[in-house]
A = this chain, B = another copy of it.
Amino acid sequence: MSTKSVIGNFFEDFSIGQEIVHATPRTVTRGDTALFIALTGSRFVLHSSDAFARSIGYREAPIDDLLTFHFVLGKTVPDISLNAIANLGYAGLRFGAPVYAGDTLRSRSTVIGLKENSDGKTGIVYVRSTGFNQRDEMVLDYFRWVMVRKRDASRPAPESLVPKLPDRVAIADLVVPKGLKLKNYDTVLAGSPALWEDYQVGEKIDHLDGMTFEEAEHMMATRLYQNTARVHFNQHAEKQGRFGKRIVYGGHIISLARAHAFNGLANAFRIAAINGGRHTAPSFAGDTIYAWSEILEKAEIKGREDVGALRLRTVATKDRACADFPYQREGEGGRRDYDPAVVLDLDYTVLMPRRPIAKRRKATSKALLPRKSKPARRKR
């Protein structure tokens, strides 16, 4: 029998310090950006309009940061997580150079930790993965850990090394895109008057809308990223599996939650970092995804008076509106459990324009009145 087709790496195939160059670099195209809009309904203006992007210092509309995430992660799947039982977590995920149509992305990973589980059948692999463009500029850098099967349970365990991972990306480490100038940032075209100054720590925002997705949609999204994880695609196999059906790529839920977050966070023009994230329950075709967000922190960015950072928690639910912000609740034995409707708990940091200094003092609560109690916006 031929051995040319591969079934992915198992726990014992990884070693500390090992570096893996992932296959299939990917040139990003305007086809990808159109599909991303078609599959998520995203309305963030920076990614929608070349004219707007130029007005704030970009060469043209960069692709959605999550699209960069999906491409870079997708490349790593055949080598890192094809035999993963569980995608345990992300940490310290930092976006670098903006990505434009025409850029070619590739991914590389280093194994930074290994720990065999006590059952002897599985182990945890920790990697640091980095995505680059064709000019070798970092576009994304992150830590990830997954639980992977051993091929042979009788093989001795490797020495355990559990790396210390950052619990968040430091504000000083956020990449502010080169050339960014927000003087001409147009809040009318961006879809909301609310800027950095207007958000308060602890403020919760219901993003209101619900979006149902179909099998064709999540599969098209996941294939677009050349992510080969089998549970998303093979109904013939999955009908025998744990859920009896295809499981949706968690990244697609992140995309939908971010698209919903436009309604309340329209000026969060860039995801600068993902501090951590959990897919708290699987999603399936036919689910309707809702989302809400909480402002966890506000931070100034050194040397920039025009842009600030907001650390957010965005929670996505399925088949449940978020007017009452469902999250965790008391579970068995006093433990905090997630509300069963919650599917995603994402901790991330966005960049948002600040009010021009001259106007900061003049800014009144008027600008923040809910739109429902003022007339529709007038011509600017």
The answer to whether A126 has its CB under 8 Å from any CB of chain B is no
Return chain B residues, CB-CB under 8 Å to A21. 188-189, 377, 379-380
A4 to B237, CA, bound (A): 44
Return chain B residues, CB-CB under 8 Å to A7. 208, 372
Q: Are A236 and B45 within 8 A (Cβ)?
A: no
Residue of B nearest to A1 (CB): B204
A210 to B240, CA, bound (A): 14
The answer to whether A161 has its CB under 8 Å from any CB of chain B is no
Q: How far is the CB of A210 from chain B (nearest CB, A)?
A: 4
Q: Are B14 and A375 within 8 A (Cβ)?
A: yes
The answer to whether A173 has its CB under 8 Å from any CB of chain B is no
This chain: copies in complex: 3
A111 to B246, CA, bound (A): 47
Q: Are A370 and B6 within 8 A (Cβ)?
A: yes
- Our pick among B19, B375, B377 for the contact of A378 (Cβ within 8 Å) is B19
Selecting from A164-172, A216-224, A299-307, the interface stretch reads A216-224
Residue of B nearest to A25 (CB): B49
Q: Are A24 and B48 within 8 A (Cβ)?
A: yes
Return chain B residues, CB-CB under 8 Å to A236. 210, 212, 288, 319-320
Please tell me the number of chain A residues within 8 Å of chain B, measured between CB atoms: 108
The answer to whether A281 has its CB under 8 Å from any CB of chain B is no
Q: Are B215 and A15 within 8 A (Cβ)?
A: no
Q: Are B5 and A263 within 8 A (Cβ)?
A: yes
Return chain B residues, CB-CB under 8 Å to A374. 13
Q: Are B2 and A204 within 8 A (Cβ)?
A: yes
Return chain B residues, CB-CB under 8 Å to A45. 23-25
Q: With a 10 A CB-CB cut-off, give which of A31, A33, A190, A380 has the most chain B CB atoms.
A: A31
Return chain B residues, CB-CB under 8 Å to A102. 50
The answer to whether A100 has its CB under 8 Å from any CB of chain B is no
The answer to whether A151 has its CB under 8 Å from any CB of chain B is yes
A45 to B21, CA, bound (A): 14
The answer to whether A265 has its CB under 8 Å from any CB of chain B is yes
- Our pick among B2, B34, B191, B215 for the contact of A31 (Cβ within 8 Å) is B34
A189 to B206, CA, bound (A): 43
18 example contacts (A-B, Cβ-Cβ < 8 A) are as follows A2-B206, A2-B264, A3-B370, A5-B205, A5-B208, A6-B372, A7-B372, A10-B372, A13-B375, A20-B377, A21-B377, A24-B48, A209-B228, A209-B233, A210-B236, A212-B233, A236-B288, A237-B288
Could you list 17 further interchain pairs (A-B, Cβ under 8 angstroms) beyond the known A29-B33, A236-B288? A1-B204, A2-B206, A3-B372, A4-B264, A5-B264, A10-B372, A20-B379, A21-B380, A27-B48, A37-B226, A48-B226, A210-B230, A210-B233, A212-B219, A216-B217, A217-B219, A234-B288
